Amino acid sequence: MSEVKAVPFLDLSTQFRELEAEWLDMIRATGAKGSFILGPNVTAFEQEFAHYVGVKHAIAVANGTDSLILSLRALGLGPGDEVITSPFTFFASSEAIDVVGAKPVFADIEPDSFCLDPKDVRTRVTPKTRAILPVHIFGYPAAMDEIMAIAREHKLAVVEDCAQAFGASIGDRVVGSMGDTGSFSFYPTKVLGCYGDGGMITTNRDDLNDHIRRLRNHGAVRPFIHVEIGCNSRLDEVQAALLRLKLRVIQRDLDGRRGVAAAYTQQLASLPLTTPSLPANGTHAFNLFTVRIPDRRDAVREAFAAQQIGFSQCYPQGLHLQDVYRRLGYAPGSLPVCESATTETLSLPIYPTLPPAHIDRVCAVLRHALA
């Protein structure tokens, strides 16, 4: 075994050191100007972000959860409406649907991508369905062509949850540019993360852009003039400054993540586990590197804990089976592909600067645990 002992799941310190001096200069400039909220860095970042994603508008908000809630609100979703989404995602994806008063309807996922299965989505459309909320989980782009076709057929809105997938693409389209809106999170662990909370909404629709800008700032059309009930969901200048610096080096970061993924895939090829598949006509952003271990997942988890290998179990329970959704009436076994994913998956350490020696050590512990 290699010399390396503990392998953290995530280490953001290398990138912090790299950006520290320039970021602190930007914070000083912000302090000197006294423009802390929705200032010049936010405006510039919104434009740079929209350019990257290839959309007309990007609206910065306080976090990824708000980016979903405000998108759903701007689309007019509320009580009596159903929104079809994935059960294999972070809770915020469905929580946002509840927050606006609509009802989440869970469809099963595909076994390879872990994203919504369009065939199952189709069977869940009812006269009350108003939107589909696909999640590009772990950085894998969901089957957007098929999902958009269902949406067109049934006149449904599409809210892309891109929180884990900044930079993933299908053909020449980046995630966040295909639905009515795209929602992003800048939580520190994300592909494009800040050092606090932050989020972004992308859209090509002028009406949604205007509405979301109003909603994020107390429903105001100009200072102290309010035309509807909104909220306070704004990105601050300090985070926007950092995100501008990180966006400049995002291609290198994405390449770094993809390099780590390729190394794992190669080293783990002969083991009884499945490494993430790559999209046939697109790119994976590898926010997480999630393997499927059909027989010995829990033994591997124990070995990782004993050997100080960081890991995450995303996700231990399908959302449809969570206590909070008991009222929706899903029984165990109702979404079998999701449920097998919850018992078989484990996410390995991945970040752009993960040292090769750490990859070797993770693979060595896996090899030993599965021998």
Ligand X SMILES: Cc1ncc(COP(=O)(O)O)c(C=O)c1O
Residues that bind ligand X (CB under 6 A): 63-65, 89-90, 92-93, 135, 161, 163-164, 185, 187, 197, 199
Smallest gap from Cβ 163 to ligand X, in A, equals 3
For residues 127 and 152, is the Cβ–Cβ distance under 8 A? no
Smallest gap from Cβ 176 to ligand X, in A, equals 13
Smallest gap from Cβ 225 to ligand X, in A, equals 29
Taking the least distance from each CB to ligand X, the nearer of 74 and 163 is: 163
Taking the least distance from each CB to ligand X, the nearer of 92 and 157 is: 92
Q: How many CA atoms lie within 13 A of 187 on its CB side?
A: 17
Task: Extract the tokens encoding 130.
Answer: 């108003």
Q: From CA 300, how far away is CA 18, in angstroms rounded?
A: 34
Output the DSSP codes for 324-349. GGGGG-PPTTSSHHHHHHHHHEEEEP
Smallest gap from Cβ 319 to ligand X, in A, equals 11
- Backbone dihedral angles phi then psi of residue 132, each to the nearest 5 degrees: -120, 135
Q: From CA 271, how far away is CA 293, in angstroms rounded?
A: 9
Smallest gap from Cβ 143 to ligand X, in A, equals 16
- Backbone dihedral angles phi then psi of residue 232, each to the nearest 5 degrees: -100, 100
Q: From CA 349, how far away is CA 367, in angstroms rounded?
A: 16
Taking the least distance from each CB to ligand X, the nearer of 157 and 359 is: 157
Smallest gap from Cβ 116 to ligand X, in A, equals 12
Taking the least distance from each CB to ligand X, the nearer of 135 and 369 is: 135
Smallest gap from Cβ 89 to ligand X, in A, equals 5
Task: Extract the tokens encoding 165.
Answer: 């997938």
Taking the least distance from each CB to ligand X, the nearer of 75 and 135 is: 135
Task: Extract the tokens encoding 89.
Answer: 């995602």
Smallest gap from Cβ 95 to ligand X, in A, equals 9
Taking the least distance from each CB to ligand X, the nearer of 185 and 203 is: 185
Smallest gap from Cβ 122 to ligand X, in A, equals 22
Tell me how far the alpha carbon of residue 74 is from its chain's centroid. Answer: 20
Taking the least distance from each CB to ligand X, the nearer of 236 and 358 is: 236
Taking the least distance from each CB to ligand X, the nearer of 163 and 362 is: 163
E strand spans, the chain: 57-61, 82-85, 103-106, 129-133, 157-161, 169-170, 173-174, 181-185, 199-203, 220-222, 225-226, 282-283, 289-292, 345-348
- Alpha carbon distances (Å) from 128 to 66, 140, 310: 24, 29, 43
In single-letter form, the type of residue at position 293 comes to: I
- Alpha carbon distances (Å) from 88 to 11, 17, 113, 258, 340: 25, 35, 11, 23, 11
Taking the least distance from each CB to ligand X, the nearer of 194 and 359 is: 194
- What residue number has its CB nearest to ligand X? 64
Q: From CA 111, how far away is CA 320, in angstroms rounded?
A: 17
